[in-house]
Structure 1
Amino acid sequence: MPSHLSADRPAAQPPGRGSVEALISQTRRLKGEVDAVRRDTHGDGTDPHERWQRALYDLALHQLDDLDVHLAQLRDGPPPVPPAPAEPAHRSAEPVVPAQAPTGSLLSRVGSAEWNLLTDEVSWSGELYRILGRDPSTPAPTLDELPSLVLEEDRPKLTAMVTDCLVDAKPIDGEFRVVRPDGSERTVHMMGEPVLDADGGTTSMWAVLRDVSELRRSQRTVRESQDSLQRHRQRTQTEHRFAAELQDAVLPPWHGLPGPAHRGPGSLDVAARRLPAAATAPTGGDWYDALQLPDGDTVLGVGDLTGHGVTVGSGKAMLMGAVRGMAMAGTRPGPLMSWLNQLLETTAQPALGSAVCCRYRPADRTLEWAQAGHPAPLLYRDGTGCLLDAPEGVLLGATPTAAYGQAVTTLEPGDLLLLRTDGLTGGHGGTDAVDRLLGLAPRLAAARTAQDCVRVVVEEFGVGDRKDDACLLIAKLSS
């Protein structure tokens, strides 16, 4: 049906067949490429970003399908006019359903209609009958009857559009929902114009109605997926902020030795540093602690828990509290590791962890220590360094029957002890990382205090964005 504002205005000529064929080929090629990318988007549907991507692909395919159909209609031209019926002569010709548009095809999503105000004749295309789910053998509804097909809350919108078109000659461009005889709902987009006579009076109204139910469903899916993705991002940002706040509360970036100061012979100067990961990285499970006990002994420890975020932050606080409590009760490093292992085994959210724990007695400069799957301490003496031989010990939480050995080392005046987590050297705990740390021996020997030694190590390993948190603890024995 030609789109016109006046009955005597000639219809615009369609573009050449060759140019339309080229557009159809381009559309189909693009549709195939989009569909191939969509099929490559695999997943279990739990990732909001992935759901949003697939919804956009589906929406794009729906729109390309519609474009393909419309271009084909443009290429083929309007359907042939059916022959006039032999009888009855007074009845308007019933729409003919084209044989090339089977029910359920893409062509069935676009239909047309015209209401003649002078003769009360109504003409519907076969596609429109299928969109609205009506029997083509029944008369098409008049303009007065049309609202009865529409969902009750959308009827005022349809009535207003039709009235504006007939009275004020305004084009129709809007959507409403129709109720089909089977009870299902469809969303229809209607575009129409009045047909005017030479005096400007309205003689009829024509309209093209398009079933956009699937398109709107796809758009709604995109919106819902995007909202879900946004909520997921906001939740992640909130959790990241909470985890960072918990981290700062439990483990400040810089820490000196707490407890009563022991300044006698063989006393330790202790400093520690937490090196946070890049701002966009989640908070990790690295921790350190230093505690001077009432009897004058000093407890030193570093470790790492698996996981990130708020959960690992709370687990870290629990573990550090347990270390302090057992150390205050006099538990030695080896048995302390065994208790920590059982603690992680019985928590509501089991986790794995590594740790090294030392207890230093200044009276005889004795260092007792144990480890659980963690890098051994480094000992620096007289400008050179070495890696202490580690006693037996597996990761905390790996097995409830794990045994943890204990080593004893006697420190000399001026000795320096370095404890760290793997994140300090970029997660690499091999020979190269140890060699780099041992290579700092001359610079560490020249440093006056433990804090100066920490600065030396941070200058070497703390530059740039880190992929993971790291902890460093240095204890320097007075000369």
Structure 2
Amino acid sequence: MDGRAEQADWGEALRRTIRRLREEHSGRSPELPPGVPPIVPDAALDPDLARPPDQDLHRLLDAVPQASLLAEPVRDGDGAVLDLAVVVVNDAALRHPHHPEQHFRQTADGHGVSLREAYPGLWTDRFADAVEDVLRTGHAARGLPVRWDGAGPDGSARSRRERLTVHRLGRRLLLLWTDDRTEEVARAAQRIARVGWAEWSLRDGRLDVSPGLAVLLGRPADTTTLSLEQMLARVTETARPELHRALDRLLTTGADIDVLTELYGIGFPRRVRLVAEVVRDEDGPIEGLRAVLQDVTELYESQRRLREQQEETERQARRADAEHIVVQRLQDALQPRSATLDGLGVSSAVAYRPAEGRVGGDWFKMRQLPDGRALLAVGDARGHGLDAVALMSMLRHALAGLAFTGALVESLGGWLNRIACDESDESTATAIVSRYYPDRDLLRWICAGHPPPVLLRDGRATLLASEVGPPFGVLPTVTYRAAETHVRRGDVVLLYTDGLIERRDQDIDVRLDALCAAVEAHAAEPALQDLVDAVVRDMSGPLSEDDATLLAFSFNH
């Protein structure tokens, strides 16, 4: 993108604001106070003028907070620099725990001390070249990486990485040390936190950038300056209008901004948080701005994915609630909570305890048949929700129709098993299917993987022995064998689903004993419905996870 294209991307209001501020500053260019001479390059100075009195040198360097020293080049016959002779060392250097104070204390002011001897490892080819370049051009060498190897105060070997800045003062050199770890930590912090900073000068239009920001913009890490146009050209087309308005507001009002924008950098556009403030001297005019930028792409994407997950969870919850309502209504329609057997001398009662938040596949069927007999059945379709209710409905209605054939319960069980097997591999159900013969006081029944019935007789509850076959839907060809129980006047037979007795913390035999105990405890209840309600209450608890149905028949014939 050329300069004209970049300029075209600027917001017009932002450009006008910058022009206005520059015009205002052009009328405020400071003049040199009277009597102050202009700056003269070191190369134009007489060498003797560059040597103020020694006392002044001490005071000057002691005012510098960094470890620093003044040194004079030691040259060979050809003029090449062989070493640096220390002229003055400041207090900061003498107090520095890693600087060789003992060398500088040997002679007054350290004058004549060899820098190569005082700082082993300092004089590398790179450092020597930098010294020659500074002496020749007068341009400072900044941030030279150096390594100091020596002994610490306790005599132990020490090694320290630092950075050195070298300035020319006449024919001498001023050396200033900075701890290399400070810059390394700053670079590491920018890299780890994906953050960078920039400072823009209104006067010259230069934008100073940190290594972290340079990398974020897809530039080499050693990039130190850009133009504002180059910086804004990295902003994506969709994000530019809002950022231009924010920058214009910043330069117009001086109020800090905190915006989310997008930058072209490495790979796909990055989401970046930009916080900026104006630069000014107290209440003076705006001189520029400084900004901190943080790459929040991963954070933004994480938040977006979290929002999507939350929305999906809410959608699933709404669907589950809607499904639960539909299933509950369907189950209520298919599963009446009461039934009567008129004319057969049989009273019945039923109690149902739903599982919390779920609808299961419990079902029962009581029907007086045309031949004067009765169909008494209870079952539990595998699973929960619509699939369980669908299987429950299919088996229940199939049994209602098949029972009219007058076939024995063994045949009814085989037919129901075939229906479940033909439905799907997951369509399984347990059941007790019985037929009551009032003329013989006989109850014939089959058990398809279901808990055994309970007989309450003379106040004592016992489990009825049965021929247990596999649940419906497990094996396509199964022969079920019927058990027979002769009932007496006053007997109560209880059929139930496994949700009434199963608990994670107790064995099934213990729970069956508890069921019989609960039935006996409430055997004297005046009404059959009171009995089943009390038993369900006793058998329910905080660990009840499945729905439960209890069906009771009292024989009064």
TM-score, structure 2 normalization: 0.61
Distance in 1 (alpha carbons) for counterparts of 2:222 and 2:320: 59
Distance 1:380 1:112 in 2: 85
Q: Name the structure 2 match of 1:90.
A: none
Deviations 1:331-388 (A, max 9, x none): 2211111111111111146232211111012222222211111122222333434332
Q: Which residue of 1 aligns with 2:242?
A: 157
CA RMSD of aligned residues (A): 3.3
Paired position in structure 2 for 1:275: 353
**Counterpart check, 1:377 vs 2:453:** yes
SS of 1:417's partner is strand
The CA deviation at 1:404 is 0.5
Q: Of 222, 241, 246, which aligns to 2:306?
A: 222
Alignment-derived partner of residue 284 in structure 1:
360
| SS of residue matched to 1:451 | helix
Relative to structure 1, the CA distance from residue 160 to residue 430 in structure 2 (aligned partners, 3 Å threshold; closer, same or farther) is closer
2:227 corresponds, among 124, 133, 142, to 142
Deviations 1:125-168 (A, max 9, x none): 22211110024687844334433211111111111122122222
Q: Distance in 2 between matches of 1:360 and 1:426?
A: 28
C-alpha distance in 1, partners of 2:534/2:271?
70
Which residue does 1:296 correspond to in 2? 372
- 1:72-471 superposed matches below 5 A: 106-107=191-192, 109-135=194-220, 140-180=225-265, 184-197=268-281, 200-252=284-336, 254-257=337-340, 261-262=342-343, 267-277=345-355, 279-280=356-357, 282-348=358-424, 350-427=426-503, 430-439=508-517, 446-447=524-525, 449-458=527-536, 460-462=538-540, 466-471=544-549
* Mapped contact 2:190–2:196 kept (Cα < 8 A): no
Whether the 8 Å contact between 1:288 and 1:472 is mirrored in structure 2 is no
| Superposed displacement of residue 312, structure 1 | 0.6
Deviation at 1:318, TM superposition (A): 0.9
Contact (CA 8 Å) 2:197, 2:212: kept in 1 or not? yes
**Are residues 161 and 335 of structure 1, via their aligned partners in 2, closer, same or farther at CA, if it must alter by over 3 Å?**
same
Kept in 2: contact 1:269–1:449 (CA 8 A)? no
| Matched residue type, 2:323 | E
Q: Note the C-alpha offset of 1:172.
A: 2.6
Distance 2:165 2:297 in 1: 30
Cα distance change of structure 1 residues 374 and 183 upon mapping to structure 2, 3 Å threshold:
closer
Q: Aligned partners of 1:465 and 1:247: how far apart in 2?
A: 24
| Equivalent pair of 1:276/1:466 in contact (CA under 8 Å) | no
Does the aligned pair in 2 maintain the 1:443–1:456 contact within 8 Å? no
The Cα of 1:123 is off from its aligned counterpart by 1.7
Q: Give me the whole-angstrom Cα distance separating, in 2, the residues matched to 1:229 and 1:419.
A: 39
Measured in 1, the distance between the counterparts of 2:534 and 2:261 equals 72
Gaps of 5+ in 1: 1-78, 86-97
Q: Which of the two has greater strand per residue?
A: 2
1:62 corresponding residue in structure 2: none
Q: How big is the shift at 1:185?
A: 0.8
Tell me how many residue pairs correspond in the alignment. Answer: 382
Output one character per residue of 1:47-91: Cα deviation in whole Å (capped at 9) or x when no partner.
Answer: xxxxxxxxxxxxxxxxxxxxxxxxxxxxxxxx9897799xxxxxx
Distance in structure 1 (CA, Å) of the matches to 2:415 and 2:399: 9
Seen in structure 2, the aligned counterparts of structure 1 residues 332 and 202 have a Cα distance that, compared at 3 Å, is: same
1:476 aligns with 2:549: no
* Seq. identity, %: 34
Could you say what secondary structure the match of 1:229 adopts? helix
Asked which structure has the greater RCO (Cα within 8 Å, sep 6+), the reply is 1
Gaps of 5+ in 2: 1-161, 169-182
> Which entry has the higher C-alpha Rg, 1 or 2?
2
- Determine if contact 1:114/1:206 at 8 Å carries over to the other structure: yes
- In 2, are the aligned partners of 1:340 and 1:396 still within 8 Å (CA)? yes
Which secondary structure state, in structure 2, belongs to the residue aligned with residue 288 of structure 1?
A: strand
Local SS of the residue matching 1:345: helix
1:305 alignment partner AA = A
Contact 1:413 1:477 in 2 (8 A): yes
Pairwise CA distance, 1:99: 6.5
What is the distance in 1 between the residues matched to 2:502 and 2:429? 18
